[in-house]
Amino acid sequence: MESLDLRVLGDALAWRTAGHAVTLVTVVQTWGSAPRPPGALLAVRDDGVVSGSVSGGCVEDDLIARTKAAFNAPNLTPDHQRPSLIVYGVSKEEATRFGLPCGGTLRLVQEPVLDATWIAQLLARTAEHQLVARTLTLATGAVVLGSAVRGQALQFDGATLTTVFGPQWRLLLIGAGQLSQAVAQMALMLDFEVRVCDPREEYAATLVAGVPGIQRMDGMPDDVVRDLVPDAHTAIVALTHDPKLDDMALIEALQSSAFYVGALGSRRNQEARKQRLGEHFDLSAPALARLHGPVGLALGAQTPAEIAVSIMAEIVQVKNRKTGGVL
């Protein structure tokens, strides 16, 4: 579950709270070259305003027309008050008409959001970095929330739909220099929640003021990492180039569940760091092997912006490998 879809749910909740009627559409199955994966969400408001996407724009216009027609009818029929299954692209002609590439086919579940309580509960749980399974019964529209496990996939048997919603991916930056500013900006564009820790007040204040949307965490880096309780949706990158700050944070990060841990520095410095952490801080070989250093993909990067691209590219690569994404 991408955090884009959590934003879709947030918009749907806000619209329902404001008194709008809302329909939620979920991709449940695809064949051929489909633009959006199973689990992708689209919310459609009664006036045609949308959030999210299920086809990259191919069938959204038709879904908007369906929704507006249903909500503007004198009385909602029973069919419009419970979930329904919609299929696009069954024939070559229909695929062409809706602009589905290579004859792709989409199978969607469309459901009116009559009670948004479950959305508020789900968003609260994902904000606590919980994995949540949502099960929808098509015959009744009933929704049940439960715990999910990492790697659990969408399930649809024609009668019930279970989708998994995970917490937003987050990035903790140790150090608040010029490179951190570039990394933070790119991470925000990639929909990461970005936090920064730097006990050097002049650095931290400048970064927070220069990059709206990031959160400063006060304290020494090792204490901050420990208090954050990094999980499998967390990346940690040490960028101060100061062993006194970087090393202590890395000790905690490498023993955590963070999916990515990286550190700035040359190959020579990284070898010295690993030797130092192993000999003086008793980190195991498997823990040290988790350290990405020199941090980032080998792009021949020179400027802070180019180095930031290489760092975020490697983080995305590792994230997608661990979640089964396409690289």
Least confident of 40-44, 78-82, 179-183: 78-82
Give the separation between CA 82 and CA 18, rounded to whole angstroms. 21
- Do the Cβ atoms of 237 and 174 come closer than 8 Å? yes
Reported as a single tens digit per residue, the pLDDT across 107-126 is 899 999 999 999 999 999 99
Q: What is the pTM of this model?
A: 0.74
- Do the Cβ atoms of 170 and 299 come closer than 8 Å? no
In one-letter notation, the amino acid at residue 158 is G
pLDDT > 80? residue 287? yes
For helices 117-127 and 3-17, angle between their N-to-C axes, nearest 10 degrees:
140
pLDDT at position 121, please? 96
pLDDT > 90? residue 72? no
The CATH code belonging to domain 170-323 is 3.40.50.720
Work out the average pLDDT over 66-92.
Answer: 74
Reported as a single tens digit per residue, the pLDDT across 306-327 is 999 999 999 999 998 866 554 3
Span(s) in the chain for CATH 3.40.50.720? 170-323
Give the separation between CA 211 and CA 182, rounded to whole angstroms. 9
pLDDT > 60? residue 2? no
Q: Which residue's structure tokens are 């399930």?
A: 155
* Burial per residue of 172-200, b for 16 or more beta-carbon CB atoms within 10 angstroms, e otherwise: bbbbbbbbbbbbbbbbbebebbbbbbbbe
Give the separation between CA 22 and CA 185, rounded to whole angstroms. 33
